[in-house]
Amino acid sequence: MNLDRIEVSPDVMGGKPCIRGTRVTVGTIVGLLSKGHLQEEILKLYPYLKQEDISQALGYAAWRSEEREVRLKSAW
């Protein structure tokens, strides 16, 4: 999966995954879509985004939702 449009930087939006070069988080895009906004509406709200940004945000969210955390035993 190509996720070259998603970046995570501790200096941008508290380290949340964002669309590269913006302060638009993956969560913002997924949240708007979940509330029924069309992709075309999102692109009008954020005219500096591209269709591929939305697609990669969804791909990133899907990938992260499939992860699972494994608790490691403490050595102490």
pLDDT tens-digit series, residues 4-18? 999 999 999 999 999
Tokens of 32: 């708007």
Question: Is pLDDT at 72 greater than 90 in this prediction?
Answer: no
What are the structural domain ranges in the chain? Answer: 6-61
Using pLDDT thresholds of 50, 70 and 90, give the confidence band for residue 68: confident
Residue 6: CB partners within 8 Å, gap ≥ 6? 17, 18, 19, 20, 26, 56, 57, 60
Question: Is pLDDT at 69 greater than 70 in this prediction?
Answer: yes
Average pLDDT of the chain is 93
Alpha carbons 39 and 66: distance in angstroms, whole number: 23
Question: Is pLDDT at 36 greater than 90 in this prediction?
Answer: yes
Q: Which CATH class is domain 6-61?
A: mainly alpha
Burial class (CB in 10 A: 0-12, 13-18, 19+), 58: middle
Q: CB count, 10 Å around CB of 46? A: 17
